[in-house]
Amino acid sequence: MRAFFNYLWIQFKMDLRNKGTLLTYYFTPLVFFLVMGAVFSSTSPLMRSTLAASMTIFSISMGAIMGAPAPLVKMRDSGSLRAFRVTGIPSGATLAVTAVSAFLHLFIVSLVIYFVSPIAFHSDLPAAPGLYFAVLAVFLFASVGVGMLIGVCAPGQSYATMLSMIVFLPSLLLSGIMFPASMLPQILTWAGRIFPATYALQSFYGYAYRIETEMSAAISLCAVAGIGLFAFLLASWRLNRIGKSEQT
- In SS3 terms, 166-233 reads as HHHHHHHHHCCCCCCHHHCCHHHHHHHCCCHHHHHHHHHHHHHCCCCCCCCHHHHHHHHHHHHHHHHH
* Residue 248: pLDDT over 60: no
Confidence of residue 175 (pLDDT cuts 50, 70, 90): confident
Residues constituting the chain: 248
Average pLDDT over residues 181-209: 88
16 vs 91: which has the higher pLDDT: 16
Question: Cβ–Cβ contacts within 10 Å for residue 130, how many?
Answer: 10
pLDDT digits (tens, 9 = 90+) for 228-237: 999 999 999 9
> How many whole angstroms from its chain centre is CA 134?
15
Instruction: Report the alpha-carbon distance of residue 128 to residue 246 in Å, rounded.
Output: 49
The model's pTM: 0.91
* Residue 226: pLDDT over 70: yes
Average pLDDT over residues 144-164: 90
Most confidently modeled range among 162-166, 175-179, 242-246: 162-166
Is residue 120 packed enough to be buried (19+ CB in 10 Å), middle (13-18) or exposed (0-12)? middle
Confidence of residue 246 (pLDDT cuts 50, 70, 90): low
Instruction: Report the alpha-carbon distance of residue 191 to residue 171 in Å, rounded.
Output: 10
Instruction: Report the alpha-carbon distance of residue 162 to residue 169 in Å, rounded.
Output: 11
In 3D space, the residue among 166, 141, 140 whose CA is nearest the CA of residue 153 turns out to be 166
Question: Cβ–Cβ contacts within 10 Å for residue 81, how many?
Answer: 22
